[in-house]
């Protein structure tokens, strides 16, 4: 067992039982189906024994938002312990069809994306259809399902003509959401990167595997990650940064997949070390004085929610740091723990209301702001915010592109 693996499995030893994680946990705050991270994490871990029956049930209610890891003063890898414990439940009791389905964002996206998307989207907006979906596969009838795009990001990119002045290269990891549901986010990212003098390369890629991890399907998650590593490692080896707009995809490449799935090969580590969230990347340019600052003023006051998955990168607030360079733009931080969707958690019939309750603080803040637009880096969080508040939401990269005056 290598030291990375040990640092995870043995991290329960650091727990001093202080309850800080439980006090901060947004899920335990709204439901007592979840007894809190201390209990299901380092505490329950002492009672687990591989090869014996799984004693757990309530750990399934962990949303994986990682707020516990963030506030823990001692360094227990609570969220990772929980993810593994959940995988044990799946291994013993099987994966419900619903979890299988929501965990396969790419597959569902591929099936629904394309010219037939409007029809499908329309169908999914109909109450009877959603009722049937809830009954048959357990996705809550009100849960925010994304609208499929009429075209994929990759298809657009193939036709996209890049400027020829580029001096440096980056590889773009778009993730499922950008490819199938929100190609415009990818377009904004490409525009910003090209504006800053980068040639953007588009590696082959598939789903990062996070939905599979959070639904406990480690087998499928492992093959997804291995395929991505194989596709990305040559870029990383050449020193070409891998940049993504989905904070959870980049976190999965950097850390979640290697740690939770115990994948520690050299290639995995090289890809992890070469992957950046887009604003992390732009901030590092800014720190070196290499980010273009030819911004047009944007006289707006906008609510901004940093997703829990972004905070889990443990980098502070890169998007806030970069957007603060735009003259006139004032961002109001949500200071909310989580929007409640936590990837696929809030879609599930039995967890939808928990997710909505978790996000209540954020939704209040967005509504009180009076703004017609909210910013958030993660796709599922944006959908949840818009679903709960009716306020439109954008990725911060879209505002940055706008500040640069870039045509999309």
Partner 1 sequence: MRTIETDVLVIGGGATGTGCARDLAMRGIRTILVEKGDLTHGTTGRYHGLLHSGGRYVTKDPQSATECARENVVLRKIMPHCLEDTSGFFVTTPWDDPAYGDVFVKNCRLTGVPVQELSVQAMLRREPLLNPQISRVFEVMDGSADSFLATRSTALSAEEYGAQIWTYHHVVDLVREGDRVTGAVVEDLRNGERIGILCACVLNAAGAWAGKIAAMAGVTVTVLPGKGTMVAMNHRMVNTVVNRCKLPDDGDIIVPIHTVAVIGTTDVHVPDPDVYGIEPDEIQFMLAEGDKLIPGFSQYRALRAWAGVRPLYKDRDVANDRDIPRTFKLLDHAERDGVEGMLSIVGGKWTTYRLMAEESVDALAKRLGNTRPCRTAEEPLPLPPTEHQTTFRPPVRTTGPGASVAAEVEALQHAPLYWLGKHLSEVEHEQSFADLICECEMASRSRVLAAIDAGAKNLDDIRRDVRMGMGPCQGGWCIYRTTALLFERRGEDGLSHANSNDALLHFLQARWKGLVPVLWGDQLRQARLDELIYVGVLGADRLRPIAEQGGGLVTDNPAVATEYVKA
Partner 2 sequence: MNYETIVIGAGLAGMMAALGRAERGERVMVLAKGHGSTHWAAGCLDLFAEADDPLGAINQLVQTRPAHPYALAGVAALEQALARVRGVAEAVGYPLVGNAGRNLLMPTALGALRPTAFVPATMVNGEARQLGDGRPTLIAGLHELRDFFPPLIAANLRAQGYAAEGVYLELPPVERAHDFSPVVVARLFERPAFRAALGRQLAALVRKGGYARIGLPAVLGLYNAVEVVRELQALSGALIFEIPTLPTSVPGMRLFHAFEQALTKAGARLQIGGWVLRGEGSNPHLHAVFSEAAAREQRHLARRWVLATGGVMGGGLRAEHTGVVNETALGLPVRTPSGRSDWFQARFLDEAGHPIFRAGIAVDAQLRPLDAADQIVYTNVAVVGSALADFDPIREGCLEGVALATGFAAGQL
Selected binder of partner 1 within 24, 31, 39, 353 (CB under 8 A):
39
Q: Please choose, out of 33-41, 221-229, 345-353, 399-407, the segment that lies near partner 1 by the rule CB under 8 A.
A: 33-41
Contact flag: residue 52 with partner 1 (CB under 8 A)? yes
Q: For the chain, what's the residue count?
A: 408
**Exposed, middle or buried by CB within 10 Å (0-12, 13-18, 19+), for 158?**
exposed
Contact flag: residue 350 with partner 1 (CB under 8 A)? no
Selected binder of partner 1 within 30, 44, 213, 233 (CB under 8 A):
44
Minimum CB separation of residue 98 from partner 2 in Å reads 24
The footprint of partner 2 (CB under 8 A) covers: 18-20, 22-24, 28-29, 32, 35-36, 69-75, 251, 254-255, 272-273, 275, 283, 286-287, 311-317, 321, 333, 335
Q: Please choose, out of 55-63, 164-172, 310-318, 371-379, the segment that lies near partner 1 by the rule CB under 8 A.
A: 55-63
Binding partner of residue 26 among partner 1, partner 2, none, CB cut-off 5 to 8 Å per kind: none
Alpha-carbon gap, residue 254 to 272, rounded angstroms: 4
Nearer to partner 1, 15 or 278 (CB): 15
Nearer to partner 2, 5 or 287 (CB): 287
Minimum CB separation of residue 315 from partner 2 in Å reads 5
Minimum CB separation of residue 295 from partner 2 in Å reads 17
Q: State CA 208 to chain mean position distance.
A: 10
Contact flag: residue 57 with partner 1 (CB under 8 A)? yes
Minimum CB separation of residue 83 from partner 1 in Å reads 18
Alpha-carbon gap, residue 65 to 60, rounded angstroms: 13
Alpha-carbon gap, residue 361 to 351, rounded angstroms: 17
Minimum CB separation of residue 35 from partner 1 in Å reads 4
Nearer to partner 1, 72 or 242 (CB): 72
Site string for partner 1, 60-99 (x = CB under 8 A): --------------x-------------------------
Binding partner of residue 10 among partner 1, partner 2, none, CB cut-off 5 to 8 Å per kind: partner 1
Minimum CB separation of residue 408 from partner 1 in Å reads 50
Alpha-carbon gap, residue 207 to 192, rounded angstroms: 24
Nearer to partner 1, 31 or 206 (CB): 31
Q: How many residues bind partner 1 (CB under 8 A)?
A: 32
Q: Please choose, out of 29-37, 164-172, 181-189, 246-254, the segment that lies near partner 1 by the rule CB under 8 A.
A: 29-37
Nearer to partner 1, 9 or 284 (CB): 9
User: Which residues lie near partner 1 (CB under 8 A)?
Assistant: 1, 6, 10, 12-18, 32, 35-36, 38-39, 43-58, 74
């Amino acid at each position: 067992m290598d030291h990375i693996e040990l640092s995870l499995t043995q991290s329960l030893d650091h727990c001093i039982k202080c309850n800080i994680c439980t006090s901060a946990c947004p899920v335990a705050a709204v439901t007592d189906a979840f007894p809190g991270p201390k209990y299901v994490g380092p505490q329950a871990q002492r009672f687990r024994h591989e090869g014996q029956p799984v004693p757990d049930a309530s750990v399934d209610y962990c949303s994986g938002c990682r707020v516990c890891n963030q506030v823990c003063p001692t360094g227990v890898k609570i969220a990772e312990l929980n993810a593994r414990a959940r995988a044990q439940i799946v291994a013993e009791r099987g994966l419900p069809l619903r979890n299988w389905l929501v965990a396969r964002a790419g597959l569902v996206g591929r099936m629904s994306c394309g010219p037939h998307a409007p029809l499908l989207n329309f169908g999914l907006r109909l109450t009877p259809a959603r009722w049937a979906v809830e009954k048959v596969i357990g996705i809550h009838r009100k849960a925010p399902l994304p609208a499929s795009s009429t075209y994929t990001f990759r298809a657009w990119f193939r036709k996209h003509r890049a400027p020829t002045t580029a001096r440096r290269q980056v590889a773009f990891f778009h993730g499922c959401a950008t490819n199938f549901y929100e190609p415009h986010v990818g377009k904004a990212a490409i525009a910003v990167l090209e504006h800053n003098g980068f040639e953007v390369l588009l590696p082959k890629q598939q789903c990062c595997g996070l939905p599979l991890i959070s639904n406990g399907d480690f087998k499928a998650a492992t093959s997804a990650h291995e395929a991505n590593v194989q596709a990305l490692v040559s870029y990383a080896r050449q020193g070409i940064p891998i940049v993504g707009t989905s904070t959870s995809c980049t976190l999965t490449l950097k850390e979640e997949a290697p740690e939770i799935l115990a994948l520690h090969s050299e290639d995995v580590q090289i890809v992890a070390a070469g992957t950046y969230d887009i604003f992390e990347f732009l901030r590092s340019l800014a720190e070196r004085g290499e980010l273009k600052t030819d911004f047009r003023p944007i006289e707006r006051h906008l609510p901004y929610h940093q997703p829990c998955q972004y905070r889990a990168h443990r980098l502070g607030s890169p998007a806030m740091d970069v957007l603060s360079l735009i003259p006139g733009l004032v961002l109001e931080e949500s200071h909310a723990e989580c929007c409640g969707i936590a990837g696929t958690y809030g879609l599930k019939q039995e967890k939808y209301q928990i997710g909505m309750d978790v996000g209540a603080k954020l939704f209040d803040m967005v509504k009180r702001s009076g703004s017609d637009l909210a910013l958030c880096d993660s796709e599922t969080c944006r959908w949840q915010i818009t679903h709960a508040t009716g306020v439109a939401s954008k990725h911060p990269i879209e505002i940055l592109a706008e500040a640069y005056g870039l045509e999309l």
